[in-house]
Amino acid sequence: MMKGKSGKGYCNWCFAKTNKLGLPAVFLLCSFFFISGFFASTLLSLQDNSIGTTRSTLQESVNEGIEYNSLTPGETGDDSVTSIPFQILSWKPRALYFPGFATPEQCQGVIDMAEPNLRPSTVALRPGETEEDSKGIRTSSGVFISADQDKNGILDIIEEKIAKVTMLPRAHGEAFNILRYEIGQLYNSHYDVFDPAEYGPQKSQRIASFLLYLSNVEGGETMFPFEVII
């Protein structure tokens, strides 16, 4: 048997390498490899469990909004560390999704505030264009309301939260454009930024947009048609 052809298994390889050793030595070597393999597999298992536990803990900390020890903030900073869950939908354009960003009560409060003042939505006109030229591009109804116009403080809370996730000061934001889209209404593909080559010189420029859905409906969507793979 010791002179036979070696097979493809581990034990056959072990016998082939120990054909000049006595039985006790063979037994000790096999025992050593068995024990080494056992501890190696146990160590790898512990590492895998540790990684899994770490990922689970991180996910739980995000889901539960756990607060951590904070540092002393500056005059414009926050007193505590908070976690606002988000999902990356696209890198270019950079699009993030924030589930449950506002409570149902806050959303209904905004709807009740805006509904009596809704008017047909308009679009910015290029030099030489008329309202007739833009007819059919945007058919929703809407109203602009700033946070300081909301006596209930709902928009103030939402605006503060938006400033945190966008890392942009509240003072740099516009008033809220609260919109209602009924069946069949739309806003054709467009840029929120105003290209000076088309609209003329601009005093300021938009660098981010934040969309907050106030109700759940069947049908309709917001689409970003030009995602780039980077």
Q: What is the pLDDT of residues 33-71, one digit of tens each?
A: 455 454 545 544 555 555 455 455 555 555 555 657 889
CA 205 to chain centre: 24
Give this prediction's pTM.
0.68
Residue ranges of alpha helices (H) inside the chain are 10-17, 23-64, 104-114, 154-166, 196-199
CB atoms closer than 10 angstroms to residue 180: 16
Q: Which residues pair with 180 in a beta bridge?
A: 141
Q: Give residue 108's identity as a one-letter amino acid code.
A: Q
Residues of the chain with pLDDT under 70: 1-67
Give the per-residue pLDDT at 220.
Answer: 85
Predicted pLDDT of residue 65: 53
- The percent of residues above 70 in pLDDT, for the chain, comes to 71
- pLDDT confidence of residue 227: 86
What is the largest distance, in Å, between two alpha-carbon atoms of the chain? Answer: 101
pLDDT for 205: 94
216 CA to centre of own chain: 20
At residue 29, the pLDDT reads 42
Q: Say how many Å lie between the first and final Cα of the chain, rounded.
A: 61
Strands 94-97 and 119-120 turn out to be: unpaired
pLDDT at 49: 53
